[in-house]
Amino acid sequence: MGRPRSSVKDLVIAVIGVGSVGTLIARYLNVNGIEPFLIHRNRARSLKAVESGILIRDRKGRVNEVRGINITYDDLPTKVDVAFNCVKSYDVEVSINMLRERATNIGLLVMCQNGIGSYEYALKVFGEERVACLILNAGAYKDEGGIVNLSGISESYIGQRGGVRNPYIGIVPVILKGLNVKGVSDIEPYRWLKLIVNASVNPITAILRMPNGVILSNEYIKKLAFSVVSEGVKVARAVGVELPKDPFEELVGVVRATSSNFSSMLQDILRKGKTEIDYINGALITIGEDVGVDTPINKALYLLVKSLESNIVNVWSPAMEYR
């Protein structure tokens, strides 16, 4: 695993998957003086990024081009100090296997996905000491012009299961300064906190086809969102997880900080793509069944999103008015 280099600007950093999250992370690496390797799925996407540029708009409306070296997995250096894996949860297995074949020496692999399952798979392949999880509480969505828009930043967390072991962990808040990333001794409670908040915000915004702020827009939607959180809290308690913050306050805080953001699940639905519902509400449902906790509201939201995902329901989207 080795020790971190003396200067952060000497670090070899890779961002795997340059969607909304990957673009956001790459931008803040740029802000802190680092031009990372930007890993694309195939050569065509890499060439498109070179030709068109990867653009991000900040909260003041300023557009910046992300600086980095656009490559594919085949061109990835064998030695990487820190790699941020930002692909969708359902693409993680393929991504991790390709990464294992090509980057034989990774100091720290940071998993940035929503839900349960991605971090676990990375742990299985690379081992507990080399894998961390970034709980990113920042809103970013890609508009119709292909520009990623930053809509809000709340407190984010970086850590490993059961305590900090990897010496690169402390570097992540430094190289992502501005994203408000805090190192924690045990990431698991924070993963559950994010899971519960996501299980509420993502499917509701996807079904209503509205930005995150809709969660607090009236008493009925807020009551529904709080009911989802209540089910998640019951499951967390049943598996012995003590949440680090009040999940209801966290939900309200995240929604307020990202009120204009289109959740990742809503973005997937609008482009008629696959969502991460199986890794969020689906995971809560499955874990709940294992520990004897019923989650009927999560199940209803899960089925509704799966129907949208399958294009069974195809209706006008009020979210289009925001675009």
Nearest to 228 by CA among 207, 259, 244, 211: 207
| Least confidently predicted of 172-176, 248-252, 268-272 | 268-272
Show Cβ contacts of residue 298 under 8 Å, excluding neighbours closer than 6 positions: 199, 228, 231, 232, 281, 284, 285, 288
Residue 320: what pLDDT?
42
Contact indicator for 17, 11 with CB cutoff of 8 Å: no
Nearest to 263 by CA among 181, 308, 312, 199: 199
Tell me which fold the domain 8-186 belongs to: Rossmann fold (3.40.50)
274-322 pLDDT per residue, tens: 999 999 999 999 999 999 999 999 999 999 999 998 874 444 444 444 3
Domain borders along the chain are 8-186, 190-317
Q: In this prediction, what percent of the chain has a pLDDT beyond 90?
A: 80
How large is the average pLDDT for residues 170-198?
96
Residue 293: what pLDDT?
98
State the average pLDDT for the chain. 92
Task: Kindly state the tokens that stand for 250.
Answer: 């966290």
Residue 272: what pLDDT?
87
Q: Whole-prediction pTM value?
A: 0.90
How large is the average pLDDT for residues 124-144?
93
User: Active-site residue numbers?
Assistant: 194
229-247 pLDDT per residue, tens: 999 999 999 999 999 999 9
Q: What is the DSSP letter of 59?
A: T
Nearest to 149 by CA among 68, 232, 62, 218: 62
Residue 321: what pLDDT?
45
CATH among 1.25.40.10, 1.10.3720.10, 3.40.50.2000, 1.10.1040.10 for 190-317: 1.10.1040.10
35-45 pLDDT per residue, tens: 999 999 889 98
